Amino acid sequence: MQILKLLLFGSYNNVDILTEILFSVSLIPLFKKCGVRWFWALVPVARTFFLGKCADREPEGKICAVIDAVNGVLLLMLYYTHANSFPYFGINAVIASLGLVTLINRLKIYLGMCDVFEVRKLWTVLWFFAGFAAAGLWGLSKRFQPAVTVPEMDAEDEIKVSGNFVTALDHGLTVNLEDRTHRSLLEKKYLLRDIHLVIPPGHMVLLLGGSGAGKTTLINAVNGYEKANASVMLNGSNVYKEYKQILHEIGYVPQKDLMRDHDTVYRTLSDAAALRMTVEADAQDRRKQVEEVLGIFGLGPVRRSLVSKLSGGQRKRLSIAMEYIANPSLFILDEPDSGLDGVMARELMERLKKISQTGKIVIVITHTPDRVIDLFDDVIVLAKDSNLTGRLAFYGSIADAREFFGKERMEQIVMSVNRIEEGGEGRADEFVNRFVEVQNA
């Protein structure tokens, strides 16, 4: 019985146990108010983690929850250790050290609760010395209401799901993504969900979405870098199952380049060709491809220049050329125009448009889309719904996007799906549900 008390309450002192029971029960109405399922208040370790989520202090909640679990193990070790033995003092020293860490993080959690419930910081005193009273009062009184709530773990999703699996194209990109999840401690988070689309060859596609909407996560799922619960088909080949065979068919240009400043432009492209082109390509094939790519990206005049001596626009073009050297069918670029002025950005995007017109698929993320929007064929709009999951709010032509959202500018579209606390209109759920209806029509 004493061991059970240790596992459940971290003590077998009746007063401590009574205090823990009171605290757990008092958390039930508070958790309900904050959007957390009530039974987590009764689960040791878990209640600490979810209290951190209620306070918008999830990292601190994780730390305290882990320490609670470790303390439980250490207390069991103390129970079986003789009081006069050396391990007894060592274990107590560890518990004391962890207690200090817990104290600091609990203070942050209680301060966070004050922020969420928009009350004075003085309430932290009551939380420390009579947590059950503070939790019970805040949970039961209508006077105390949280400014934000926690998306309930594994809750039934009120936002529609299309389930509209699209037929794979023999030529082009087909994405049927059911979900991309991440498990963290006691919960499973949905990063992306219900994204189904096909992109024909020859299309240049804009990928839009606010911060945290899942743009990079979607790119990583499509290019096979981070697999999702999905089927991704490129020109009839399964990206996940045949990744090594079709790796050269996918080009991805991240925001930051990985070039060596002391190499020349020609040497940089030659090394990229050796790494990225297929094994069937011999030295002559690689040289021919390097010359062709130098011409496509206007780098011929600086072929002997060091990378460190290039202008910002030239360096961007070289970074893109390194990935294009393998002649990919799918070309994905993450903010290729960042740091460039309007003229240089447009010149770069026009080159990408010419690439798409050769029958390739080009997907671009940019935070300044309106200055080059006329160059894009389609737009993908990702939105973070009320469950903080990246969802497909729209996919189609630029003209249809303007009509669908009732906005003329792409930046206005992003603001319409951004959350209110992020300065947006908070209409993500509305557009996600509407687009699901369009897909199922």
pLDDT of 5 strictly over 60: no
pLDDT tens, position by position, 331-357: 999 998 887 888 888 999 999 999 999
pLDDT tens, position by position, 109-125: 999 999 999 999 999 99
pLDDT of 7 strictly over 60: no
What is the rounded distance in angstroms from the CA atom of residue 311 to the CA atom of residue 302? 10
In the chain, domain spans: 2-140, 173-440
Task: Work out the percent of the chain whose per-residue pLDDT is above 70.
Answer: 87
Q: Chain-centre distance of CA 39, in angstroms?
A: 28
- Give the CATH fold of the 173-440 domain: Rossmann fold (3.40.50)
**Closest Cα to residue 81, out of 25, 6, 191, 193?**
6
* C-alpha distances in Å from residue 430, one per residue of 35, 98, 160, 184: 21, 46, 10, 28
**Closest Cα to residue 104, out of 59, 53, 167?**
59
Phi, psi dihedrals of residue 250, rounded to the nearest 5° = -120, 125
